[in-house]
């Protein structure tokens, strides 16, 4: 094993690339010819990698060809970076090294591959920390479609699915405001399907969450650490329906037949729903808010805060293939489990989005990295 590791990790001779030629129309035309011969079988004629469903690495793990149009290049996106991948391949993966007869053909092929990326696509997927300023306003735009949000410039936050898929939610637009007492976050993202049902075992709801910490040195963005707990604000699309009235499996299957419980006094009815009788927040009879505030100190420690210890409110609206969700909460709290926010005080947040129609649930989601938050004085 040691010999194999040394062989695969010992750098070879430096690759001489030579000077990059101008990306002329003639060079791109030659690159397209070479692409059709060498790359189309895996990456497809349009560069979207739809020609192959799955491939396998040498270690047996599944992989798939890169979608060149998405702007995601792990080894770099310049023509020189792409040329190195072409010439050397990716050891251990199905991507081979490419031998080209003519001296200028490698630059032609690299130039054409680079040209397949959609304009602005790379900038939209970059995971880099932003400094977000919460605008100080006189009146907080609490509703998700309140006109006051249009006066705040949105910030694009790139999302990355933890379980990769090409058809994904690429990111969210964020606006933040505060009135000195409460803070409001508006998150907007494109989603062609409105998934608000999770009563069945095979259905999953759309969901968005914010994770917050006031630590100067924030913990890893994966659910906090033992000595650095985080707050999580969560909104579920399905809970918007629960705000109207209590829902049960009969709403999912209206013609469901069931045995009668016999004589049942009205006051005893809730006892047959054991989760509700036990106070489980997932089975509340009367839901005044489509969100909840939670605390977490690492994997396996997620816990919902009782309503008496949180001032969080959350609501969402889906229209024309777009979700708009707003979280509002008091800046300060007497609860030790709640992150305190104040103008001028540093804080960090991260976002996560679940797409119900894609089967997202639990840890299957799309996430951002930590972003800095500052409340305008």
What is the reported pLDDT for 260?
A: 57
> pLDDT of 345-354, one tens digit each?
999 999 999 9
Length of the chain: 377
Q: What is the mean pLDDT of residues 249-263?
A: 71
SS3 314: strand
* Bridge partner list, 117: none
Confidence at 259, pLDDT banded by 50, 70, 90: low
Which of helix, strand or coil describes residue 292?
A: strand
The fold for domain 127-243+287-375 equals Immunoglobulin-like (2.60.40)
Give me the mean pLDDT over the 233-238 stretch: 97
Query: Of 54, 17, 265, 14, nearest to 166 (Cα)?
Result: 54
More confident site: 337 or 340: 340
List CB contacts of 346: < 8 A, sequence separation 6 or more. 214, 216, 372, 373, 374
pTM to 2 decimal places: 0.84
Mean pLDDT in residue range 235-240: 96
Distance CA 169, CA 190 (A): 7
Instruction: With CA atoms as reference, report the closest residue to 174 among 355, 331, 349.
Output: 349
123-175: per-residue pLDDT in tens? 889 899 999 999 999 999 989 999 999 999 999 999 999 988 888 999 999 99
Whether the per-residue pLDDT at 225 is higher than 80: the answer is: yes
More confident residue, 276 or 290: 290
The rounded percent of the chain whose pLDDT value lies above 70 is 97
**113, 73 in Cβ contact below 8 A?**
no
Cβ atoms of 303 and 145 closer than 8 Å: no
The structural domains of the chain, with segments of one domain joined by +, span 2-118, 127-243+287-375
Distance CA 100, CA 109 (A): 10
| Alpha-carbon span 177 to 260, nearest angstrom | 52
Taking CA atoms, 232 is separated from 59, 120, 351, in Å, by 37, 31, 9
Q: Supply the mean pLDDT for the chain.
A: 90
98: Cα separation from own chain's centroid: 35
The dotted CATH code for 2-118 is 1.10.760.10
Helices and strands (H and E) in the chain: how many: 9, 16
pLDDT given for residue 262 in this prediction: 60
pLDDT at position 264, please? 64
């Amino acid at each position: 094993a040691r010999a194999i590791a040394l062989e695969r990790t010992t750098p070879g001779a430096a690759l001489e690339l030579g000077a990059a030629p101008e990306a002329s129309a003639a060079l791109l035309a030659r690159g397209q010819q070479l692409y059709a011969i060498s790359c189309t079988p895996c990456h497809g004629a349009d560069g979207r990698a739809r020609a192959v469903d799955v491939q396998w690495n040498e270690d047996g793990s599944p992989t798939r060809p890169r979608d060149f149009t998405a702007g995601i290049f792990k080894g770099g996106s310049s023509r020189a970076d792409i040329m190195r991948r072409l010439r050397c391949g990716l050891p251990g993966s199905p991507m081979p090294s490419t031998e080209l007869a003519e001296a200028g053909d490698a630059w032609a092929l690299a130039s054409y591959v680079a040209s397949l990326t959609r304009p602005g696509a790379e900038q939209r997927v970059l995971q880099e920390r932003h400094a977000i300023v919460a605008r100080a306003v006189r009146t907080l735009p609490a509703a998700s479609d309140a006109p006051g949000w249009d006066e705040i410039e949105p910030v694009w936050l790139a999302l990355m699915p933890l379980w990769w898929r090409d058809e994904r939610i690429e990111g969210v637009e964020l606006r933040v405001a505060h009135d000195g007492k409460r803070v409001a976050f508006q998150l907007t993202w494109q989603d062609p399907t409105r998934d608000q049902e999770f009563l069945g075992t095979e259905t999953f709801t759309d969901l968005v969450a914010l994770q917050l910490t006031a630590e100067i040195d924030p913990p890893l963005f994966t659910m906090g650490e033992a000595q650095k707990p985080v707050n999580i604000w969560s909104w579920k699309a399905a809970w918007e329906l629960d705000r109207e009235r209590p829902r049960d499996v009969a709403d999912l299957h209206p013609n469901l037949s069931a045995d009668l419980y016999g004589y049942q006094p009205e006051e005893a009815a809730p006892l047959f729903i054991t989760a509700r009788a036990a106070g489980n927040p997932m089975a509340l009879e009367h839901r005044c808010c489509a969100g909840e505030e939670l605390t977490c100190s690492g994997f396996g420690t997620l816990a919902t805060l009782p309503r008496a210890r949180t001032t969080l409110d959350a609501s969402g609206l889906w229209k024309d293939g777009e979700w708009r969700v707003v979280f509002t909460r008091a800046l300060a709290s007497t609860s030790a489990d709640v992150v305190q926010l104040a103008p001028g005080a540093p804080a960090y947040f991260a976002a996560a989005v679940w797409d119900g129609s894609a089967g997202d649930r639990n840890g299957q989601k799309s996430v951002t990295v930590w972003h800095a938050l500052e409340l305008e004085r």
